Amino acid sequence: MSGHADVLGSEIRARLDHPVVDADGHMVECEWLLEDYIREIGGARLHEKWLNRPLTNGVTKGIWWGFPSGPHTADRMMSMLPKYFAARMDECGIDFAHMLTTIGLGAVENRDDELRVTVCRSINTMFADMFRDVSDRLRPVAVIPTQTPEEAIAELEHAVLKLGFKAIMIATEVRPPGEPFRSIAFDPPFDYDPFWRRCVELGVAPMCHQAHLGTQSRGSRSNYVFNHLGMFAAGAEFFCRSLFMGGVTRRFPDLNFALLEGGVAWAATLLNDIVEHFEKRNPEALLANLDPATLDVDLMCEIADKYGDARFTSARLRQQPHHSRGSKIGGSDPFDEFAACEMNDISDLRDLFYRNLYFGCEADDRMLAVAFNRKLSPLGVPLKAVFGSDIGHWDVIDATSILAETYGLVDAGLITPNDFRDFTWTNPVSLHLRMNPDYFKGTVIEAEAEKLLPQITRSFTTAP
């Protein structure tokens, strides 16, 4: 909201009666520092392989001039030095922040197995070292590759049990040799349930930051903005759809997921699209309205005699009443395409969609209002939008004005102060606290978060 560009986040924070939690800030890794860790963990050969990796895919235009410079050079240093970030948080109006990777967004998709695993391990080790002295205000997020469930579990356990991480970011798609990208949640190449189960056991909520830049079939070779528009929303929508239709949210009701940086408008669209498909394509509706065996051929021929012509005759129609070759696909019995998620009624969405899914929105996203619009919700309850500053990347012009930009949505009447509280406080806390009641122990918001625990627990055991 440009009208708030000159307002400090600290001024907005002073008006609030609750802390502000950033669900999605970013480290901009200093590559020469990361290379030290890659050399130490992977050896000279893998270090050399990393240095010689291709920086573009040659198909779509990638990012350029992506970090703050000029008058905002200090903001660039915020995302490189955790101690400096922590020192400026009061000025920004942020009490506690989660810091995700930048380099790791691509590293988790690297096709080289040993390089992918080594770089993710190196990022996690570097983060563990860099954030050790600021853990009361900043939480680094471990990078978890997921090309196989075994790979994912190994790095998850190392990050949580050896390095002490409490938050993780995962790759949501894999690319088996010779195949297109596939989801790890729907028709996956391997069984990922052991990985989801381990996340529950370790009390971590998978956060997802999947982009479709470079994988889309309609990408531009010349224009990064063209490629960037909607890319995180597209990646998030695909994974969210996979979690729901693949039955992951049903099989793991205690596992929260965060889909970051794509906004929430796509989620409202997906949710309503699911309802519309279910109403028309649940097994009962299929049998009642679309079963080829119930086709009234006599009626078809009667209409053809009256409205047909020399080519469209009732005789030809009677010979081939199933005029579309695909009209009888599926056999004689209806196939329940909602079987994996076991959806039997619209009210089931409470547990299958609303309960465990969180959606990351940036400060200037006016479509955040969709999340809190009860009239657009099939069950009349809001989607769980969470505040992500994205500090460290090109779309944050001034880190100190981020919170003011977001509060501009309240001033514009698009969301209420209570919505703002949920967006910047209740939802980001609930995402992690429900998974791990000790998640905020030792932080500056420990006492305030503890007060929310009964409310969060109650919200997951009572109907909306």
Query: What tens digit of pLDDT does each residue of 263-292 get?
Result: 999 999 999 999 999 999 999 999 899 888
Identify the pLDDT of residue 415. Answer: 96
**pLDDT category of residue 463 using cuts at 50, 70 and 90:** very low
Which CA distances in Å does 328 have to 52, 325, 430?
53, 7, 47
pLDDT at 144 over 50: yes
Q: State the sign of the Cα–Cα–Cα–Cα dihedral 189, 191, 194, 196.
A: positive
Q: What is the pLDDT of residues 153-173, one digit of tens each?
A: 999 999 999 999 999 999 999
1 pLDDT band (50/70/90 cuts)? Answer: very low
Tokens of 439: 């998640």
pLDDT at 344: 96
How would you class 64 by CB atoms within 10 Å of its CB: exposed for 0-12, middle for 13-18, buried for 19 or more? exposed
- Phi and psi at residue 256, to the nearest 5°: -90, 150
DSSP 3-state assignment of 360?
Answer: strand
Tokens of 94: 């942020």
Q: Of the given ranges (3-12, 22-31, 251-260, 302-311), which has the lowest mean pLDDT?
A: 3-12
For the chain, percent of residues with pLDDT exceeding 90: 75
* End-to-end Cα distance, the chain: 32
Q: Which residues pair with 361 in a beta bridge?
A: 387
Asked if pLDDT for residue 108 goes beyond 80, the answer is yes
* N residues, the chain: 464
The greatest distance separating any two alpha carbons of the chain, rounded to the nearest whole angstrom, comes to 84
Cα(435)–Cα(291) distance, integer angstroms: 44
The per-residue pLDDT for range 368-383, each reduced to its tens digit, is 999 999 999 999 999 9
Position 111 scores a pLDDT of: 87
Instruction: Indicate if the pLDDT at residue 218 is higher than 80.
Output: no
Q: How many CB atoms are closer than 10 A to CB 7?
A: 18
Spell out the domains of the chain, with CATH numbers in brackets.
Answer: 2-274+348-459 (3.20.20.140)
> Phi, psi at residue 292, to the nearest 5°?
-55, -25
Please work out, in degrees rounded to the nearest 5, the angle formed at the alpha carbon of residue 295 by the alpha carbons of 280 and 324.
Answer: 80
Residue type, 311: R
Q: How confident is the model at residue 55 (pLDDT cuts 50, 70, 90)?
A: confident
In Å, what is the CA distance from 332 to each residue of 287, 328, 436?
10, 8, 48
Question: Mean pLDDT, the chain, as a whole number?
Answer: 91
327-362, pLDDT tens digit by residue?
655 555 668 999 999 999 999 999 999 999 999 999
For residue 121, count CB atoms less than 10 angstroms from its CB and return exposed for 0-12, middle for 13-18, buried for 19 or more.
Answer: buried
- Indicate the helix (H) or strand (E) that contains 166: none
Which residues are CB-contacts of 268 (< 8 A; sequence separation ≥ 6)?
370, 371, 373, 376, 377, 383
